Amino acid sequence: MDIADMETPLPEVTLQALHQASYELRVRIFDVNGISVFKDFGERNDVFIAGVLTMKAIGKQEETIKVKTDVHKFARKFASFNYLWTFKITAPVQHCCLELSLLDDDRFISDDMIYLPKKLALESFMDFAYKHVKDDGMSSSSVKHLIVFDQTPREAPTCCDSCIKGCCGERILCWRCCHRRPPHVKPATLRMELEVLTDEEAYARPVEPGTFAPPQQRFVVKEAIYRGPKNCCRLKVCCCITCVLAFILLTLAVLVLIPVAFPWFF
């Protein structure tokens, strides 16, 4: 701690002499496993990952970049992407955070949030790369990471017969409805990899954002008919009902046609 006289002006802090370098952050999204919340018919989701990168370099304005993966149609517990995002980041950073959301794609209405978003702080990761590249001339650094989605959006509390009606016409929830706990949800785990490269390394190893490998365990639309326990149960019930109706119709047809074809028999 420096001790100075009150009359002595404080030294001005300038950021012009601060060495800044440009890096490329590559985020590889592999897959999500353990999904237990379903938004579509037949216990399935059209899953995709949305990301929002918020960064602020020292002495610069804050920037926000929004990205997303492709959609894994008719996914249940497992969703595969093998998707690559690239970001240009100037280090050292004052703030850098990546928010990840697991969503269900809807064509006509807004996308449904399967789990609550998770934030991944990247300040220490970028500072590590900045210091080691500056001091030791270290090449690109990569690290694998797991994101656990363990919370779902809380639905509005419902009323019961014990809830009373207020003076403004709104329902006043009773103690039981206010303290009703949401159902237990099994967490889902996202596998991803982070890699930081200098501009020279990124230029020597060019990549295009998008799918870097074929996603696993994806199927076509016709397979969605029998995917999911509920769909299988419904198909079994429909088959049983169809067989019973066909047997009844066949029996009635036989009883009607036999007297016509063989009148002498009767």
Instruction: Please give the Cα distance from 67 to 103 (Å, whole number).
Output: 13
Instruction: Please give the Cα distance from 128 to 111 (Å, whole number).
Output: 36
Q: Which tokens is 16 given?
A: 């012009």
The pLDDT of residue 162 is 52
Q: Give the three-state DSSP class for 167.
A: coil
The pLDDT of residue 108 is 79
Asked whether the predicted pLDDT for residue 247 surpasses 70, the reply is yes
For residue 92, whether the previous peptide bond is cis, meaning omega lies within 30 degrees of 0, is: yes
Asked whether the predicted pLDDT for residue 82 surpasses 90, the reply is yes
Asked whether the predicted pLDDT for residue 168 surpasses 90, the reply is no
Q: What is the pTM of this model?
A: 0.68
Q: Which residue has the higher pLDDT, 32 or 173?
A: 32
Give the chain's count of helices (H) and strands (E).
4, 13
The pLDDT of residue 128 is 84
Residue 191, judged by CB atoms within 10 A of its CB (0-12, 13-18, 19+), counts as: middle
The pLDDT of residue 167 is 42
When pLDDT is averaged across residues 62-78 and rounded to a whole number, the result is 93
Instruction: Please give the Cα distance from 247 to 159 (Å, whole number).
Output: 48
Q: Give the three-state DSSP class for 264.
A: helix
| Strand duo 21-33 + 164-165: pairing | unpaired
- Report residue 217's pLDDT band, with 50, 70 and 90 as the boundaries: confident
The pLDDT of residue 18 is 63
Asked whether the predicted pLDDT for residue 63 surpasses 90, the reply is yes
When pLDDT is averaged across residues 21-36 and rounded to a whole number, the result is 93
Q: Which residue has the higher pLDDT, 264 or 155?
A: 264
CA distances from 173 to 4, 166, 182 (A): 61, 10, 16
Instruction: Please give the Cα distance from 159 to 156 (Å, whole number).
Output: 10
- Report residue 44's pLDDT band, with 50, 70 and 90 as the boundaries: confident
